[in-house]
Amino acid sequence: MGILEGIGTGFSVALDPTNLLYVFLGVLIGTVIGVLPGLGPTATIALLLPLTYEIEPVTAVILLAGIYYGSMYGGTITSVLLQLPGEAASVVTTFDGYQMAKQGRAGPALGIAAIGSWIGGTVSVIGLTLLAPPLADLAVEFGAPEYVALTALGILLVTYLGTRHPVKSLCMAALGLLLATMGQDLITGTTRFTFGQISLFDGLDFVAVAMGLFGVGEILYNVEQTEKAQAVKSKIKNIWPTKADFRASGWPIARGSVMGFFIGVLPGGGGVISSLASYATEKRVAKDPTRFGKGAIEGVAGPETANNASSTSAFIPLLTLGIPANVVLALIFGALLVQGITPGPQLISQEPEIFWGVIASMYIGNLMLLALNIPLVGFFVQLLRVRAGILAAFALLVTMAGVFSVNNDPFDMWVVLIFGIVGWLMKKTGFEPGPLVLAFVLGSILETNFRRAMLTSGGEFSIFFTRPMSGTLFALMALVIIISTVAGIRRRRQRSRPATPGEEDLAATGTTAEPEGTPGAENTDGTATDEASAQSDSGVGRDRS
């Protein structure tokens, strides 16, 4: 199927009234949770995951994808108006967006963010349309050594980039890898660390772990915060930016689109890193860098474009390789697995309606968001009046019912509660759940592929370096370590200069403590392992003992 024909199929799926409704619901929910501080896309998708089991797989992914990129739009609103990033990727927007609002330019800030997001999202969908099919063809050639290299790279990037404390992240990643060893050993078929519990034969359920760490942990943490209704003082007017604004934002939007696209494809990329990178770039190329932090529109336009572009391109590794690039994609991966679909290089040929339907829905969803955001900003802001306590109680109820429905196993509810408490403690102590969940998911892919590579090579480690693709990836990893070490040193030097305005406040509010809503590259393969085996196995009676 060619790209044109594919996209045609895609639109015929995406324009189905049911799917149109779910795109709309997705972007609406996304915007709403983007506005509500604390409840980011990860927590929301984790909470809503079980509700998607009853709908068609393509519809489920359309909904979840809509929530993801929708939240990128919504997060901007509170960042600009209240200096409160609704979700992590919008942290950067508070630097200049809030300053613009203070100068009475909240309207143009929100306007340019919506327009930039739309352009970034659309550019990225076009990139996805053009690049994913050839990439999927290439991905078929990937064998065990390549998967080892990719997953190792993912874990490396997640622990190195986009986290404040690489050492803490590393600890969490290690814990995630350990947890991934529970359950059946895929190569020998024996069970490990099950403590005689049949419920642990397949390891911990990824959905339950993610819902606990992100959903319940987040809820507990928020409930603990003092509740106060937020009042929005700034008047929002002149949303449509002026010509001068457009002129100033043109290049930042263009650069943000491209940068966001490429960063999103990287494991562990997505949201925050892309917006940080875009902000840093704009500041570097600006004629007068001192304007940044004082209301420069480029500082809003670039990052907002980039985070949206990256949230779309993050779908590429999932749809072509079956490797989710971040936690949100891991959850979407989980949703597909539960539906009996294993994303991978075969997806595009075996399930074209899912592949192309989701892509087409993104074109539509981005248009809807543009239409929603510009006139309805005032309405969304009112949402901030909802008390966290009410939201929390409701969310907890949905979580518990939801996780039970996945496997009909009460055991999973305990897993959610325990990991909820662990997640809450981690948040309080500054450990991020992202690397843990990512490593948990990637861990089983990494382990089985490593051992598979050893089996096929007869125990020769050279298999990882002699194959062109995995050799390149390992070289890339070495490069990442060198670059990030150098950059880390440089950043530390820069930090001695006055911090970017807003950063400290944000840190103080705690809302931002987590750099990434989507912190980790995630693979949902954890689930994958369980569920895939359950399903495909069940598939054909894969009887594993």
Partner 1 sequence: MRISSGIAGVALVGLLAACGGDDGGDTTTATGGGGDDAAAYPTESIRMLVPYGAGGPTDLTTRTVGACLEEELGQTVVVENLPGGSGALATTELVGAEADGYTLSLVTAGTMVLTPLANEVGYTKDDITPVGVMTEVPSVLAVGDNSPYASAEDFFAAVEAEPGTVNVGTPGASTPQAIELQRLAEEHGVEVTAVPFNGNAEMTTALLGGNVDAVLINASSDVVQNIESGAFVPLVASPEERLSWLPDTPTFTELGYDGLTLSGSTFGLAGPAGLPDDVVSTLEDTLQTCLEKPEVQEQLGEEYVLEEFAGAEELAEVLDRTQEVYEPILG
Q: Which residues bind partner 1 (CB under 8 A)?
A: 53, 140-144, 184-191, 196, 198-199, 201-202, 338-342, 344-346, 350, 407-409, 448, 452, 455-456, 458, 528-545
Calpha distance 99→112 (Å, rounded): 15
Nearer Cβ to partner 1, position 294 or 452?
A: 452
Cβ(315)–Cβ(348) under 8 Å?
Answer: no
φ, ψ (nearest 5 deg) of residue 183: 95, -160
Residues 338 and 536 sit within 8 Å (Cβ to Cβ): no
Nearer to partner 1, 266 or 463 (CB): 463
d(CA 44, CA 253): 28
Distance between CA atoms of residues 137 and 347, nearest Å: 11
Q: How many CB atoms lie within 10 A of CB 418?
A: 15
Give least dist CB 183 to partner 1, A: 9
CB of 378: closest distance to partner 1 in angstroms? 43
Which CB atom, from 204 or from 388, has the smaller least distance to partner 1? Answer: 204
Measured CA to CA, the distance from residue 112 to residue 98 in angstroms comes to 14
Contact 101, 109 (CB under 8 A): yes
If the CB atoms of residues 385 and 542 are measured against partner 1, the closer one turns out to be: 542
Q: Report how far residue 90's alpha carbon sits from residue 76's, in angstroms, rounded to the nearest whole number.
A: 6
Smallest gap from residue 414 Cβ to partner 1 (A): 14
Q: State in angstroms the smallest separation of the CB of 400 from partner 1.
A: 18
> How many other CB atoms sit within 10 Å of the CB of residue 346?
14
Based on CB atoms, which residue is closest to partner 1, 190 or 496?
190
Which one, 274 or 533, has the nearer CB to partner 1? Answer: 533
Please report, as a single letter, which amino acid is at residue 527: T
Asked whether 35 and 383 are in contact (CB, 8 A), the reply is yes
Q: How far is the CB of 184 from partner 1 (least distance, A)?
A: 7
**Considering the complex, what minimum distance in angstroms separates the CB of residue 153 from partner 1?**
19
N residues, the chain:
545
For the CB of residue 447, give the shortest distance to partner 1 in the complex, in Å.
12
The two three-digit tokens of residue 461, written as one number = 């480690």
Contact 68, 311 (CB under 8 A): yes
Q: Which residue number, 382 or 466, has a Cβ lying nearer to partner 1?
A: 466
Whose structure tokens read 């896309």?
Answer: 41
**Which segments of 156-201 are extended strands (E)?**
183-184, 191-192
- Distance (Å, rounded) from C-alpha 519 to C-alpha 525? 16
Question: Whole-number minimum distance, CB 203 to partner 1, in Å?
Answer: 10
65 CB contacts (<8 Å, ≥6 apart)?
A: 26, 315, 332, 358, 361, 362, 365
Least Cα distance to 72 among 41, 49, 110, 112 occurs for 41
Min dist. Cβ of residue 199 to partner 1 (A):
6
Residues 6+ apart with CB under 8 A from 234: 81, 101, 102, 104, 106
| CB-nearer residue toward partner 1: 361 or 444 | 444
By beta-carbon proximity to partner 1, the closer residue of 269 and 345 is: 345
CB nearer to partner 1: give 307 or 448: 448
Q: What is the closest distance, in whole angstroms, from the C-beta atom of residue 7 to partner 1 in the complex?
A: 23
Tell me how far, at minimum, the Cβ of 446 lies from partner 1, in Å.
13
Return the number of the residue (186 or 477) whose C-beta is nearest partner 1: 186
